[in-house]
Structure 1
Amino acid sequence: MRTPISLALAMALAGLTAAPHALATETPQAKVSKSAKPWALNLRYRHESVDDDAFARHAEADTLRLRASFNHRFSPRLTAQVEAEGVAELGDRFNSTANGQAAYPVVPDARALELNQAWLDWSGDSAGVRVGRQALVLDNARFVGNVAWRQNMQTFDAAQLRWKPNKAIEVQAIYLDRVHRVNGDEARDPLARERRLKAPLLRVSHAVPGGNLVGYGYWVEDRDVASASTRTLGLRWNASRALSKDWKGGLALERAQQVPWANAIGGSTAYMLVEPRLERGPLILKAGWERLGAGRGRAFQTPLATLHAFNGWADKFLVTPVNGLRDTYVSAQRGIELGGRKGKWEVAYHDFRADRGGSGYGRELDASFGVTLRPGFDVLAKLADYDSEGFARDTRKLWLQVEWSL
């Protein structure tokens, strides 16, 4: 159950507030704006269709998510937030991980009624502290993220310290006590609901001309699954510059090394990312090569990440295969206007291969199109088509989504 000491403290303090909060994805460095609304509501309906050749039946999942957020500012420096979330399963033609429908493919948007966030935040001139249940997104969410795509967001019982000694440097020290996973409290597998952690995280960001350099260390001990414990040390560099009057170029480079931690066993593994990009107004073109390396008896893993954002939207690589993964990809996205309404399209192509041995893991084509019909009212269509080469099975996913925020 969700009852660690840090959460109990935050709930007791947050309970003093009767007034709500603006809905937002919180990051460790985020502060609640003085002009933020004291409350917010978000309603999201989604239809997700999954045709996975490993199953005789197609999944047809209809789910509805309601999220209510509340915040209260006790003083210019002290703020509290409480956020509740409920998910309803509209039908049972899918395996939500809670409804027992194992004959269908998994769509992990299970029924839920949960306290999503409850934290207390103090922010000074150069430092800040946040304690309680909170959503966390570090850098591009490759190692720690909130998985905002799923109906039930991933959150953490955590304490974090922010320190900004000057304009160029930012330090974040975070301790994770527990992770509440997207499957929710009703999942039949207890390990899919939440994991108990002992996980100090350290991140130091330094602004450089045109971008920033980040060094990080994540010491994650999984107290429920000892073999999942890892220590990860890495560097990330991301910068951009003008190439001409109309074009801007950018490059992200990242390198990390991961070893078993606490009582885990296995060999050392490496992570690498090379991602150049070109931008012209609302058009963004990317190419990339990402490697999650193979080691002795294990591969590089990122279980606390926003995994849906990486290695294809079909989610075939939520756990890195034991022989590792190399993902070579290209993508394009562009903001548009349709009849005065803002929208965006995106397409991406992935080629997957094993890091050790080089065997093919398949290819995937992803596409999405979204439009804001009016402020706070958005519609989205999204497609993922995974073509296997012997790893897993061919899978096609389609999403239709309507979201309303107030």
Structure 2
Amino acid sequence: MLHPVWPSAVIVAALAVPACAVAAEPVSLPASPPVASPAPSSASSPFGFEWNARLRNEFVDDDAFASTSNATTLRVRAGLRMRWAHGFSALLEGEGIASAGDRYNSGANGVTTRPAITDPEGAELNQAYLAWKGGHAGATLGRQRLLFDNQRWIGNSGWRQNEQTFDAVAFDVGLQPGLTARYAWLDRVHRVSGDQARDVLARERNLDSHAFNLAWKRGVQQLVGYAYLHDDRDVATASTATWGLRAVTDTVHDGRGWGLALEWAQQGDYADNPLSFTHQYWLVEPAFTRNGIAWRAGWEHLGGNGRHALQTPLATLHAFNGWADKFLVTPPAGLEDRYLAAGGALGHGATLAKFKWALAWHDYRADSGSQDYGQEWNASLGFPVHGKLSGLAKLADYRSDGFARDTTKLWLQLEWAQP
């Protein structure tokens, strides 16, 4: 089934120069990152230039199509950060994406006879915001990257070349030691499909959404309560209210220990949604680390009744339910994802410790009814190349059991970040 043709000359040539680099979806993320990330320090100038570039080849063999897809894309992102007195800063950041051909469906190029690889060519304003950060509070106004908890509900979809950003105003406040409140009002979401997507609704959505997040942390314990009131002004049936709790424990120290993530949420119709529904979400994920290898088991439930299912349209979707991206939209019958995963370094030596591997297996089933959706294997290897240049090789192999079609995806990627 699988006969990928990698653009080897391009990749090998890129290894010789600092042109691009890395980034698989993170296994875990901080529960409540600050609204405005600290700016790079500079003792001599209030201005700072920052940039990164990513070169990627993605190959997709989907049995639903007679032809495969093969996309080699280069994403360059550059920004000017300004800082001045009293904690104020601003960022103006643009990005451009170039492609070495049209042997894939980018969502904008009209090549619908091949599988989708949503990395369209184009140039866009990625972020443009004014921020203030004091000792116990911060605020950001403008187009920005938003990451809430593990990005299951709100994230930047950073795996795609064109990331997801929001026109929003966001606040974070340290109420007391260990207790942080976050709030964001979302006016518009700029989606990964880009400004030239043929589907207008895939470009951006007008919103009137509110995100509330209260996180308490003490030692290795963390508890988060949240309410995400999502009002989609372009598609009323996409408007939902999600209320939930997330608890995390992580005792890992010196390469050994255990962890546990528990989460529960309820999602219902909201605002002008003409539908009426209530769906449950839960996650149970115990983990154990020994000799530097982290082992995880998980059960993630996205409820569905056969007609409608729980959705997470603002999430970093590629990080969940397998890298083959078969469940970016939850099927009407819902989704039960039971998985096993492991990851760590290749060894303990100075060189081998820099090589990071990950392996996961998923079993997918419907929540409503008895349908089996299929199984999937995921594998990745991250490795250093030179200095700030790093690489990633990644595989997703989905075997259908009546839902969608068998699909294999391969990635080879380089990334360079500056400063």
The match for 1:189 among 193, 199, 206 is 199
2:42 equivalent to 1:32: no
Encode CA deviations 1:70-111: one digit per residue, 9 max, x unaligned. Answer: 211111410111111000121000000010000000000001
Partner of 1:379: 391
SS at match of 1:269: strand
Return the letter of the residue paired with 2:41: S
Q: 2:126: which partner in 1?
A: 116
1:131-170 pair list within 5 angstroms: 131-170=141-180
In 2, distance between residues paired with 1:30 and 1:329?
34
**TM-score with structure 1 length normalisation?**
0.90
> How far is the alpha carbon of 1:27 from its aligned partner?
4.6
Question: Residue type of the partner of 1:390?
Answer: G
* Secondary structure, aligned partner of 1:255: strand
Deviations 1:365-387 (A, max 9, x none): 00001101122101111000000
CA offsets 1:28-72 (integer angstroms, 9 cap, x no match): 434324626822221111111000000000001111100102211
Q: 1:239 aligns with which of 217, 232, 249?
A: 249
Contact 2:36 2:133 in 1 (8 A): no
Structure-2 residue corresponding to 1:248 = 257
Equivalent position to 1:72, from 82, 90, 96: 82
- TM alignment of 1:181-220, pairs within 5 A: 181-220=191-230
After TM superposition, give the deviation of residue 340 of structure 1 in Å.
2.7
Deviations 1:157-200 (A, max 9, x none): 00011110211110001000000000100111111100010001
SS at match of 1:368: strand
For residue 227 of structure 1, give the secondary structure of its aligned residue in structure 2: helix
Structure 2 residue corresponding to 1:317, chosen from 307, 310, 327: 327
Written as runs of structure 1 = structure 2, the 5 A alignment for 1:311-350 is: 311-336=321-346, 340=351, 342-350=354-362
Partner of 1:21: none
In structure 2, C-alpha distance between the alignment counterparts of 1:354 and 1:347, rounded to whole Å: 24
For residues 14-37 of structure 1, give each alpha carbon's deviation from its aligned partner in whole angstroms, at most 9, with x where no partner exists. xxxxxxxxxx99954343246268
Kept after mapping to 2: 8 A contact 1:32/1:79: no
Query: What's the offset of the Cα at 1:128?
Result: 1.3
Query: Match for residue 415 of structure 2?
Result: 403
Contact 2:255–2:293, Cα closer than 8 Å, also in 1: no
In structure 2, the partner of 1:6 is: none
Mapped contact 1:27–1:135 kept (Cα < 8 A): no
Q: Distance in 1 between matches of 2:255 and 2:325?
A: 36
Determine helix, strand or coil for the equivalent of 1:191: helix
State the secondary structure of the residue aligned to 1:372.
strand
Aligned residue for 2:202, secondary structure, equals helix
The TM-score, its normalising length taken from structure 2, stands at 0.88
Residue 281 of structure 1 and its aligned partner are, at CA, apart by 5.2
Cα distance between partner residues in 2 of 1:288 and 1:94: 33
2: distance between equivalents of 1:267 and 1:41? 44
Counterpart CA distance in 2 for 1:202 and 1:179 is: 17
Which residue is 2:266 aligned to? 257
Contact kept? 2:388, 2:417, Cα under 8 Å: yes
Instruction: Measure the CA separation in 2 of the matches of 1:39 and 1:33.
Output: 11
Give the 4+ runs in structure 1 shifted more than 3 A. Answer: 24-31, 336-339
Q: Structure 2 vs 1, CA of residues 123 and 95 (structure 1 numbering), >3 Å: closer, same or farther?
A: same
Work out whether residues 266 and 295 of structure 1, in 8 Å CA contact, stay in contact via their aligned partners in 2: no
In 1, are the aligned partners of 2:35 and 2:146 still within 8 Å (CA)? no
| 2:308 paired with 1:298 | yes
Matching residue within 361, 367, 382 for 1:370:
382
Amino-acid identity (%): 48
TM superposition shift of 1:266: 2.7
Would the aligned equivalents of 1:219 and 1:232 in 2 still touch at CA under 8 Å?
yes
1:83 is matched with 93
CA distance in 1, matches of 2:241, 2:278: 10
Post-superposition Cα deviations, 1:281-311, rounded to whole Å, max 9, x if no partner, equal 5321110000000147311100000000000
1:180 matched residue in structure 2: 190
Cα 1:245–1:120 shift into 2, 3 Å: closer
Alpha-carbon separation, structure 2, partners of 1:34 and 1:389? 49
Give the residue type in structure 1 aligned to 2:382. G
Give SS of 2:251's match.
strand
Q: Does the 8 A contact of 1:268 with 1:295 survive in 2?
A: no
Alignment-mate amino acid for residue 287 of structure 2: R
Q: Which is bigger in relative contact order (C-alpha 8 A, separation at least 6)? A: 2
Gap runs ≥5 in structure 1: 1-23
| Contact residue 28 and residue 137 of structure 1 kept, 8 A | no
Paired positions, count: 383
Is this contact kept in 2: 1:27–1:136, CA < 8 A?
A: no
CA contact (8 A) 1:268 1:296 kept: no
**CA distance in structure 1 between the partners assigned to 2:145 and 2:259 by the alignment:** 28
